[in-house]
Amino acid sequence: MASCDILIIGAGIAGLSLAIKLNHEFPDRRIVILSKEDETQSGTWHAQGGISVVCKSNDSFESHVNDTLNAGAGLCRRDVVERVIRHAPQVLRDLMDNGAEFDRDASGHLAVGKEGGHSQPRIVHCKDMTGFHISTSLLKTLKSLSGIELLTHHVAVDLITSGLLERIKNNASTCYGALVFNKKKRQFENLVSRATILATGGVGHLYQNTTNPSIATGDGIAMAYRAGALISNMEFIQFHPTAFFLNDEGAPHFLITEALRGHGAYMVNHQGERFMFNYDARGELACRDVVSRAIEDQIVTSGHPCVYLDCRHLDARELAIRFPTVYNHCADRGIDIATDPIPVVPAAHYLCGGIDVDASAMSSVRNLYAIGECAHTGLHGANRLASNSLLEAAVFAGFCFESIKSTLSSIPLRHDAMSSRTAYSLVGSSPGLTMIRSKVRQYMSRYAGVTRTTDGLLHALNYFSLLSIKFEDVYSNSFSPELNELRNAITCARLIIKQSLERNANAGTFYNKDLNLNLTSPA
């Protein structure tokens, strides 16, 4: 049994930002951050584009709000959108105070780019490695502080919650920490805390094509669901339109940043024809859901396995300077982006739903917070506006901090709390487990991907329901990190499919062919 004052599960921009703020406020409190792998395996670390911030005189909060609402297809919470966007300049200052550096123009002002769905250039970036630079600056700050422990290769298995009688008495479940597995020592430990924060990222590795790091198996969402938290909008999976095409199932697909289209790159089919204006008046700068469905339509219609991003009309030297990560990755694959089109396909990129939280990032389970991609805040609605994700994560880390700051001293530390499941038999990975993980990805890509059908969703629901029953005894008695990920993936798959079946109108990233609406979303 071990204890801490604050337990943060996840080491991306949300978790790191929160830990730093809490340490400044509570230097004598013990703060523990868990990372399932090492600290480089976060969605933030791999984010290329940037963070959307109103910072130019020809831009406005109102314009950014309207762009976000339009992208969200009418399903955003306007109060949340306005609050987040108005906090963006302060978040940017905080990041720079923690050492993050962003590109500047010739006059020394912040350089801003334009991405799909934005009416104005407002994407603050560091070349095409923004997330990497934000992560490294936050980690450097964090490691200079005492009172914060970053435990890598630690798997959160389940949340420790109140018993049935206590739940009935309080009319709600309460979180007291988590059961944790140390991968290096191969040991379990109950880690109790006053406040527990899930910052575990998304669900990309439920799909065959994804831009997400391998840790993105929906762990935080599945744990919260098992603890009784409300989960919603799981049907809204944003597929990034332009991931580098490769035939390697399960491997993260390299993201070709949207900023490249903002820079002037064209989308062309295998015959070299631009096609986006056939689907949307904004062409290549339409929202991601529109571009992804257009690409899938081109692939299905033509039988060609991908489409192409064409930069051949752009300045070669400027491309190499502005997009070194993309330039070098493509070069390693034998493609010179100045002379060769880049093969691309849509890939699962971002979850717009997740654990329901209030304005303070608190879930429906007491003392359990969620921030970042695993949280459903109401900002994104049916589709996330490009580069609003890093913004949301950092802003809600601040909201979460304010809540914990005002309540932490009143929350008791329950040293007697422990997980109801402690007798796990450790098992190794197996070919059978790998095969099932592959099957999960195939089913989700085929039946719950860019486009869906009611029959397909029902077929997938039946498959995952039977799979869940089949493995119920295995999950209760056996453990391995791989088995734990499969358990969480199946839980999230069922949530995505069930909530897809409950959705009776197409909107944003959700498109069911049987609902007979057109291919485009609102402009």
Annotated catalytic residue: which of 122, 194, 261, 288?
288
Structure tokens at 112: 């801003």
- Give the model's pLDDT for residue 44: 86
Per residue in 203-257, pLDDT (tens digit) is: 999 999 999 988 999 999 999 999 999 999 999 999 999 999 987 655 668 889 8
Q: Are 209 and 445 in contact (CB under 8 A)?
A: yes
Instruction: With CA atoms as reference, report the closest residue to 287 among 503, 508, 121, 76.
Output: 508
Q: Are 232 and 89 in contact (CB under 8 A)?
A: no
Q: Are 487 and 222 in contact (CB under 8 A)?
A: yes
Per residue in 118-175, pLDDT (tens digit) is: 999 999 999 888 999 999 999 999 999 999 999 999 999 999 998 766 666 677 799 9
Task: Give exposure, 464-498, as e/b (b: 16+ Cβ within 10 Å).
Answer: beebeeebeeebeeebbbbbbbbbbbbbbbbbbbe
| pLDDT tops 50 at residue 522 | no
pTM: 0.92
Per residue in 297-333, pLDDT (tens digit) is: 999 999 999 999 999 999 999 999 999 989 999 999 9
Structure tokens at 462: 């039946």
Instruction: With CA atoms as reference, report the closest residue to 161 among 365, 14, 360.
Output: 365
**What are 141-145's contacts with CB under 8 Å, separation 24+?**
141/20, 141/98, 141/99, 142/16, 142/19, 142/20, 142/33, 145/20, 145/23
Name the pairing type of β-strands 175-182 and 187-198.
antiparallel
312 flagged as catalytic: no
Query: In angstroms, rounded to a whole number, what is the distance separating the alpha carbons of residues 379 and 389?
Result: 9
Query: In angstroms, rounded to a whole number, what is the distance separating the alpha carbons of residues 519 and 292?
Result: 10
